[in-house]
Amino acid sequence: MKYNPVVLIDMDGVIADFERGCLNKWKELYPNSPFIDIDKRTMHGITEEYALIDDSFKGMMDSIMKSPGFFENLPLMGNAERILDNLESEGCKVFICTSPPRETYNLIGKYNWVEKHFGTQWKNKIIMTRDKTLIHGDILIDDKPKITGAIEPSFTHILFDQPYNRNENKPRITQWKDWKEVIEDVLSKKYIDINDDDDDDDEYTNRMYKAFKILW
Ligand SMILES: [Mg+2]
């Protein structure tokens, strides 16, 4: 990749297997209660979807997500081993962009999770925000169907495939092993002549082109 795109990567549902973590804990704590198979989930908000089965399930699922150590113990998403290093070695400037847990005692769990699975150096590349539109980047890889906030985001949203986002028509990474062609395709459409090796000023030209397009 000649151009070095800033790639923002969400944690839950993208590199951390949030769904598996919730379901495992649910089965452990409530073995006699019904559950929703991961591939049958239809809503991004898991507590809201469980509430549709029974009102009391909302609080039960909520307490799982609030439990100390929940984020720290989430499994790694399939094929995500070394994915951050791999993206960087291919020329991407990678940052983890995640919402903070509502319970501040669980904040440290996200940092510990990143350190455990990707190494200490990645703890310095975590951006925690409730509004991802405010973060500049070329690409955001996120499982949430729609990314909204205070401003129109600079990044292009690539969906990380989950059953609950399949109604969205956006570029999509179905599995981590397929990331490269999806990102390159998005970048080639976002910035014209991205692969033209003749012009050293490509990055500047493309950014200016896009800025003018937005302005005019
Ligand atoms: Mg997510």
Domains delineated in the chain = 6-15+75-203 (3.40.50.1000), 18-66 (1.10.40.40)
Ion ligand 1, residues whose Cβ is below 5 A away: 10, 12-13, 143
Which tens digit of pLDDT belongs to each residue from 180-199?
A: 999 999 999 988 654 555 55
CA of 212 to the centre of ligand 1 (A): 32
Where residue 209 falls among pLDDT bands split at 50, 70, 90? low
Whether 199 is catalytic is: no
CA of 34 to the centre of ligand 1 (A): 24
In the sheet that 156-160 helps form, which strands lie side by side, from edge to edge? 126-128, 93-98, 6-9, 139-142, 156-160, 172-173
Give 98's contacts (C-beta < 8 A, 6+ positions apart). 10, 11, 12, 110, 126, 127, 128
Where residue 200 falls among pLDDT bands split at 50, 70, 90? low
Q: DSSP string of 108-129? A: HHHHHHHHHHH-GGGGGGEEE-
Where residue 3 falls among pLDDT bands split at 50, 70, 90? confident
Q: Is the pLDDT of residue 205 over 90?
A: no
CA of 55 to the centre of ligand 1 (A): 24
Calpha distance 47→79 (Å, rounded):
27
Mean pLDDT, all residues of the chain: 92
Query: In this predicted structure, what is the pLDDT of residue 2?
Result: 65
* Residue 126: both structure tokens together: 């975590």
- Active-site residue (options: 10, 138, 143, 202): 10
The answer to whether 212 touches 12, Cβ cutoff 8 Å, is: no
Whether 193 is catalytic is: no
CA of 145 to the centre of ligand 1 (A): 9
CA of 35 to the centre of ligand 1 (A): 20
**Residue found under tokens 């509430």:** 51
- Active-site residue (options: 12, 17, 142, 143): 12
Which tens digit of pLDDT belongs to each residue from 107-151?
A: 999 999 999 999 999 999 999 999 999 999 999 999 999 999 999
Strands 156-160 and 93-98: unpaired
CA of 19 to the centre of ligand 1 (A): 10
**Helix (H) or strand (E) segment spanning residue 97:** strand 93-98
Q: Is the pLDDT of residue 215 over 60?
A: no
Q: Please report how many Cα atoms fall inside a 13 Å half-sphere around the Cα of residue 10, on the Cβ side.
A: 25
Calpha distance 134→100 (Å, rounded):
15
Which SS3 state, helix, strand or coil, does residue 8 take?
strand
CA of 141 to the centre of ligand 1 (A): 9
Q: Is the pLDDT of residue 206 over 70?
A: no
Eight-state DSSP code of residue 173: E
Query: What amino acid occupies position 196?
Result: D
Which tens digit of pLDDT belongs to each residue from 79-92?
A: 999 999 999 999 99
Calpha distance 151→133 (Å, rounded):
6
What values do phi and psi take at 142, rounded to 5?
-150, 145
